[in-house]
Amino acid sequence: MDATTQKPLKLLLLGGTSESTRLAKAVAQMPGVAAVLSLAGRTRKAAPSPVPVRVGGFGGVDGLAHYLVQNGVDIVVDATHPFAAQISNHAIAACTKAKVPLLAIERPPWQRTDRDIWIEHATVEDAIAALPDAPSTVFSALGRSAIPLLCAKPQHRYVIRVVDPSAPPAELPEAVIISARGPFRTEDDIALFREYRIARVLAKNSGGDAAYSKIAAARALQLPVHIVKRPDIAKRHTVTTSDEALSWIAHHHASRTKRGV
């Protein structure tokens, strides 16, 4: 079988992050690789993709394993958010079941410096519960799904940054919703925090550069950050960058070509 008749390497890319966007652009230019980008659909308007996109869940471990087999998927790259533990754990189990190689891009978490004022929490609920009782203005970067949870401490004025525009719940009449998509700049977040007189920051330890500005801004202004630790994910083969993932894909493609598959 020559290069013109060889079947393409089928890649399922679990995405929704800047790493998956970069990787999709790169694999779209790779001859002999047919990629599908899978998105959870939590963001109403996803960024344009150069590869075909599927939106929605798979139906658990069995549903994902069935998808892999039915579509002849050769390899899977998990480039989901570090807090998307459910799909990541499902991918590990499904790929094991379907005997499909899996690689995860796991960006390093942010590291606390001696100038940071961090209060670490195991869950989003814990972080919100730990806010002081005295009313203050709190910046939330916990995402849209966390907005209802903020109602547990309704005495605060929340400035909430999310991708999709939405109205605050009735329980938080003073909340401000800022619709914006990263990457963000530190100087802009410093100005934002000063404008709204932010006293505390709620954040997840997502890692990466696109959303680090709020951490750097809080450090510059000496604001406490209630930061949520990452959830546990089962052991898997990982790299830290999309470039490393691209090399892994290229290796599988090259070894497949040598076998004449």
- Render pLDDT for 170-214 as a digit per residue (tens, 0 to 9): 999 999 999 998 899 999 999 999 999 999 999 999 999 989 999
Which of 224, 213, 225 is closest to 189 using CA atoms?
A: 213
Low-confidence ranges of the chain (pLDDT < 50): 1-4
pTM of the model: 0.88
Contact 232, 122 (CB under 8 A): no
pLDDT (0 to 100) of residue 1: 41
What would the two tokens of residue 191 be?
């100005």
pLDDT reported for residue 44: 61
Question: What residues form DSSP beta bridges with 224?
Answer: 117
- The predicted pLDDT at position 255 comes to 78
Output the six-digit token pair for 123. 């869950």
CA 57 to CA 41: how far, in whole Å? 8
Pick from 85, 54, 133, 51: nearest CA to 234: 85
In the chain the first and final C-alpha atoms are separated, in Å, by: 8
- Could you tell me which residues are beta bridge partners of residue 226? 119, 202
